[in-house]
Structure 1
Amino acid sequence: MKNRIINYTVVVLAVMAIMINPSCKKFLDFESPSTSSEEVVFETTSTTNTALIGVYNRLIGDNGYGSRISTLFGITADDFKTSGSYSPSDRRGISMYGASSDNTDLIQPFAQLYSGIERANLCIKFIPLSKLYTSGTPAEQALMKRYHGEALALRAQFYYELIRNWGDVPQRFVPAADAETLFPANADRDQTYDQIIEDLKVASELVPWRIEIPEYGSFRFTKGAIKGLRARIALARGGYSLRSKTNLMERSSDYLKYYQIAKDECKAIMDNNSHGLNPIYENIFKSLHGARLDNENELMFEVAAFGTNANTDSKLGYYNGVRFNASSTYGTGGGGMNAIATYFYEFDPSKDCRRDVTLGVFEITATSKKIINTLNNFTDAKFRKSWTNFDGKSSSQQFAVNWPILRFSDILLMYAEADNEIGNGPSAVAIKALRDVQERAFIGFKSDIPVTPTTKSGFFDAIVKERLLEFGGEAIRKFDLIRWNLINSKFIETRVKLQQLIDGTGPYVNVPNYVYAKESNYNLTPSVTEVASLDLYGGAPNVVLFSPGLNSSTAPAGSGYTVKNWRKALTTDNQITSISTGFALYFEPNKKELLPYPKTALNENTNMVQNFGY
């Protein structure tokens, strides 16, 4: 007998929210369930839209992409890690691949994702049953179908996030009131992936392109974003993952089928004129902070934040991002994520503009000036309190900064990757897709872009490197490495590079032990200019940070400069072997590619089985 503990009247109306203004990106909070019935909710376009906004709401807040999912679950990789010392029960345990099942940062995001699925399931059931959907005016039918497509896309996003973190998660594609049980067992992820890939195909036929509904902006799903999400999920389905039956990283024998889906979806987006590359890399991220500087619509889908509260806003720029001293005019901000020390040297030293946007080379001091960080203390920098309207007069920890889910550059690079894999080497279109991303990065220096490999393995390696440089700090790299089955080998490679950097050998032979710095004005100029104007003894950063220098532990007498440890800030212990800070120290291949299920979830649902190794 079906369990009817949860009935529609209560659950449906828990998704009620105020209607979104077409010109506004923000979503409102929902706490109190309404008492309206599903028949009322889904029989007008306005109340259906309201219910749908309630589904979007499950993306944001401290337990969504406003904090934990965005800034904790996607690290560590060879770009960033969490700052601080290891504990299995908090965020550092996640970052060092040593999280326990009672980790306090796991249960609420896990629950919120399933809350989003339940809200989406209700919309997916009742929207097609409404009279407007079946017999309304053509305009009403089109609008209701659009809402149906958005709900399908949202459910797919929630499931994708669950699967890439936990693997064979329980699934339910009907509302709880219709389910045979409220406590489903783990489900085969391939079956779940196949369902949401098919759902996204349907959704893409129901939702218009961005250019047809400009009022949606990048804050709601449009056709391009749905197709892009389908491509991303198809690559995950066709990629490697840690299998529950074998406890090995494996991919299915028909993986090329999914690469073809990804290729086709990306090509459809590339052939449409709704999305393109923003010519200025930095402006993508400034747009997330409120200043809309993305006329090309590179931001295809972003999670909207507002309200200065833990439920509807984000802590982006407060928890992570450039570090601001509490005594500065900007007030406290940033510092929760640190760059892997080698990441700075992965970029071209003087021509790739992405480095200074991605990496917090400097911090803001108590006097509101900037000074270079030590090499082990770089932060992520795509999120900055100084790009918001908040300053030291505000005590808020939420700055209304959005999270980027999907960008057009990802479409280009996914296409290039899929084309290369299917064709046993890159086509001219794939090479151009890669070059387009590189040319934006090397603006002003296009002739210095490395020669593009034309073999399958060489081109794949170029894609692996390019995605490292393009998406640093956007919670993409870790999951790329997993689906490529490269995470263990890249971790080994990174430890070798770290040791070379510590020793000053190999590619790091000219990296200085010390640099000498003064505070200088923080001008809020473009990042490349801002970093170039750091006051360092010996010249510009692109000279000083790539030259041995004086190699003295004291600054030149009478110069007014302060010594900053550079390579000397790094030791084998604090970078590699320390049980508190060692790079991905607790990672074990074929075991730690997935997170542990929260103990609370296992206690409540005894049909679930814990992931291997926990």
Structure 2
Amino acid sequence: MQDAGPLNQLTEGLVFDSTDRNGFYAEQYVNDIYASLPNGFNRIDGNLLDAATDDAVTSQDGTNIDFLTKGFLNSSLNPDDAWAKNYAGIRKVNLLLAKIDVVPVPAKIPFWKAEARALRALFYFELVKRYGGVPLVGDALLNTDAPANFKRNTFEECINYIVSECDAVKGLVKTDPLSSADYGRMSAGVVLAVKTRTLLYAASPLYNGGNTGITAEQKLVQGYAAYDAERWNKAAAAANELITGGKFSLEATFNNVFINRKNAEVILAFLRPVTSDLETNNGPVGYAVAGNGNGRTSPTQNLVDAFPMNNGLAITESGSGYSAASPYTNRDPRLANTVLFNGASWLNRPLQTYEGGLDKPNKNTTQTKTSYYLRKFLGNFATQAQYSNQNHNFPIFRYAEVLLSYAEAANEYSGAGTSIAYTQLKAIRKRAGIAAGADNNYGLKANMTQTEMREAIRLERRLEMAYEEQRYWDARRWKIAEQAFNTQLGGMKITNTAGVLTYEKVPVQPIRFTAPAMYFYPIPFSELSKNTNLIQNAGW
């Protein structure tokens, strides 16, 4: 549905036309609003946003991702600046709401208005998670040539507005499951997913009692004044409403979530044409031209070590069965579905990421820095001769995240190791292929404290949602980025001596996070110059 290109040739009068009895141009306009949806994959100068976390490094030096990984970010240079894009989306919505009633298709107009408002709520969330409180412009039609001098609304006002919009439209958009023709539109499930994520972020430590503002004005836009546990309860209730609706479920096979255009787990995705661009951008470098990749993403040893064994136990735990001499044997199956490691089958041969191997030749070329390549999102090419076009639709919301959000919010609100949290984690680990074990806990420790459960949930979220632009924001909202993103990132040095492999964990590069400034993005200098009523975030 979202495949419509920009409406460069359509004038306002043509789109909102009282003689357009089928609403043809108006519907194209609605579809074009979806172009402002979050679109992940290699969007930061050819890199995943996760290459600015402890989960990956970029294989190519000197790209714009360095502004995020080395603390070079500033108000004039931000490779993830989303201010203009999202306000452009908001303006499109407001123009539709102001003009659409003249189009003579009364049966369609309520749906278009509702989905446009839902999209606007999501655009505001994308702004708030980056900048904190931003100007709420209501239904005003902003003139991009002469912008109005709106002030920043408080963080609380922005959260309340997003939630109120979701509540207002969730019964007006189409219900799930959507037809193939409507797939990719804002449905009732999508609206609840927006509400759930918004409330989860609002309840999180960065905003809920962890305000990093310095001046009184900054404190208002960078979080709540004081902690309130009830915020976790609201997030849990929103997640539970989506779960009990029964419209979504975990896919039986993990990788199918990312290569099937329509499935029961993805709630909303940015729909793209079928391509092989993810494979050519991220695939291993040592294949013939027909199957060669550019290897842009190097997963870190930090992430690889975080995956447990297939019995659910951490590799550092006694009895896990981990062997340093065979580090990828009997691991959580999600590891092989997330990372390509030495010996993995790919394009009809085992991957060679040992020193001097075909996929780590150590020549003057872009190659993995860690001995790992990205596997997640790529098609099933273990036994294929070359890449072919696949469905590569970036998952904005999926059901597994909702389960993890429910577990997190319930644990934070209700206390020590709630049964709700155990239920969600076990469901995700079961789908992953981890063994249930004699206690049916899928490797989870029994009777966890609230703190232990918190760490278990955070780990599960990191593993399950790797490379989906979650870790980057999770570390911020949990207020752990100053530890997690101020660290040495590692890889594996593999030596092949007459067919005998030895493995050595090695440092690759450091990552830097400047606290507290980098918990929020700076308001763009261009916006401050145009609007003197805007205040800057602390530290910028």
Q: Pick from 46, 71, 75 the counterpart of residue 97 of structure 1.
A: 71
Contact 1:59 1:65 in 2 (8 A): no
**Structure 1 residues 604 and 347, CA gap change in structure 2 (3 angstroms):** same
Contact 1:339 1:380 in 2 (8 A): yes
Deviation (angstroms), 1:104: 6.5
Contact 1:284 1:299 in 2 (8 A): yes
Contact 2:268 2:398 in 1 (8 A): yes
Is 1:328 the equivalent of 2:319? no
Alignment match, 1:455: 449
**Structure 1 residues 50 and 452, CA gap change in structure 2 (3 angstroms):** farther
Superposed, 1:460-499 pairs within 5 Å as: 460-491=454-485, 495=488
What code does the residue aligned with 2:537 have? N
Contact 2:255 2:337 in 1 (8 A): yes
Contact 1:236 1:483 in 2 (8 A): yes
CA distance in 1, matches of 2:437, 2:61: 41
CA distance in 1, matches of 2:113, 2:41: 23
Is 1:384 the equivalent of 2:357? no
Contact 1:286 1:387 in 2 (8 A): no
State the secondary structure of the residue aligned to 1:301.
Answer: strand
Q: Pick from 330, 340, 352 the counterpart of residue 332 of structure 2.
A: 352
Alignment match, 1:508: none
Q: What per-residue deviation string (whole Å, max 9, x for no partner) do you get for residues 487-534 of structure 1?
A: 223346x54xx6xx79xxxxxxxxx86443xxxxxxxxxxxxxxxxxx
CA distance in 2, matches of 1:189, 1:391: 52
What code does the residue aligned with 2:471 have? R
Is 1:567 the equivalent of 2:531? no
Superposed, 1:283-298 pairs within 5 Å as: 283-287=256-260, 290=261, 294=263, 297-298=264-265
CA distance in 2, matches of 1:204, 1:222: 8
Superposed, 1:272-311 pairs within 5 Å as: 272-287=245-260, 290=261, 294=263, 297-306=264-273
CA distance in 2, matches of 1:104, 1:173: 27
Gaps of 5+ in 2: 310-329, 355-368
CA distance in 2, matches of 1:386, 1:428: 36
State the secondary structure of the residue aligned to 1:592.
Answer: helix
Deviation (angstroms), 1:414: 0.8
Contact 2:348 2:385 in 1 (8 A): no
- The TM-score, its normalising length taken from structure 2, stands at 0.79
Deviation (angstroms), 1:119: 0.8
State the secondary structure of the residue aligned to 2:180.
Answer: helix
CA distance in 1, matches of 2:79, 2:392: 21
Deviates more, 1:356-365 or 1:112-121: 356-365
Is 1:67 the equivalent of 2:67? no
CA distance in 2, matches of 1:410, 1:245: 33
Deviates more, 1:256-265 or 1:445-454: 445-454
Deviation (angstroms), 1:65: 6.8
Alignment match, 2:433: 442
Alignment match, 1:36: 13
What code does the residue aligned with 1:306 have? P
Is 1:266 the equivalent of 2:239? yes
State the secondary structure of the residue aligned to 1:279.
Answer: coil
CA distance in 2, matches of 1:168, 1:202: 21
**Structure 1 residues 567 and 184, CA gap change in structure 2 (3 angstroms):** farther
**Structure 1 residues 205 and 369, CA gap change in structure 2 (3 angstroms):** same
What code does the residue aligned with 1:611 have? N
Alignment match, 1:406: 397
Q: What per-residue deviation string (whole Å, max 9, x for no partner) do you get for residues 374-422 of structure 1?
A: 572423321326669x99799xxx9762111011011111111111222
CA RMSD of aligned residues (A): 3.7
Q: Answer 1 or 2: which has greater helix percent.
A: 1
Q: What per-residue deviation string (whole Å, max 9, x for no partner) do you get for residues 3-30 of structure 1?
A: xxxxxxxxxxxxxxxxx5xxxx633343
Report how many aligned residue pairs link the two structures: 492
**Structure 1 residues 70 and 168, CA gap change in structure 2 (3 angstroms):** farther
CA distance in 2, matches of 1:27, 1:364: 38
CA distance in 2, matches of 1:361, 1:175: 52
Contact 2:33 2:92 in 1 (8 A): yes
Alignment match, 1:592: 518
Alignment match, 2:363: none
Q: What per-residue deviation string (whole Å, max 9, x for no partner) do you get for residues 32-57 of structure 1?
A: 34242675279855444322101102
Alignment match, 1:236: 201
Is 1:174 the equivalent of 2:174? no
Q: What per-residue deviation string (whole Å, max 9, x for no partner) do you get for residues 118-139 of structure 1?
A: 1122234445x56879xx4xxx
State the secondary structure of the residue aligned to 1:406.
Answer: strand
CA distance in 2, matches of 1:446, 1:46: 57
Is 1:80 the equivalent of 2:56? yes
CA distance in 2, matches of 1:234, 1:70: 31
**Percent identity of paired positions between Structure 1 and Structure 2:** 20
What code does the residue aligned with 1:332 have? G
Superposed, 1:243-262 pairs within 5 Å as: 243-246=212-215, 251-253=224-226, 255-262=228-235
Is 1:122 the equivalent of 2:102? no
What code does the residue aligned with 1:322 have? G
Structure showing greater relative contact order (alpha-carbon pairs closer than 8 Å, 6 or more residues apart): 2
Deviates more, 1:42-51 or 1:423-432: 42-51
**Structure 1 residues 453 and 159, CA gap change in structure 2 (3 angstroms):** farther
**Structure 1 residues 156 and 215, CA gap change in structure 2 (3 angstroms):** same
**Structure 1 residues 473 and 124, CA gap change in structure 2 (3 angstroms):** same
Deviation (angstroms), 1:238: 1.9
Deviation (angstroms), 1:479: 1.2
Contact 1:58 1:116 in 2 (8 A): yes
Alignment match, 2:35: 57
CA distance in 1, matches of 2:460, 2:28: 40
State the secondary structure of the residue aligned to 1:215.
Answer: coil
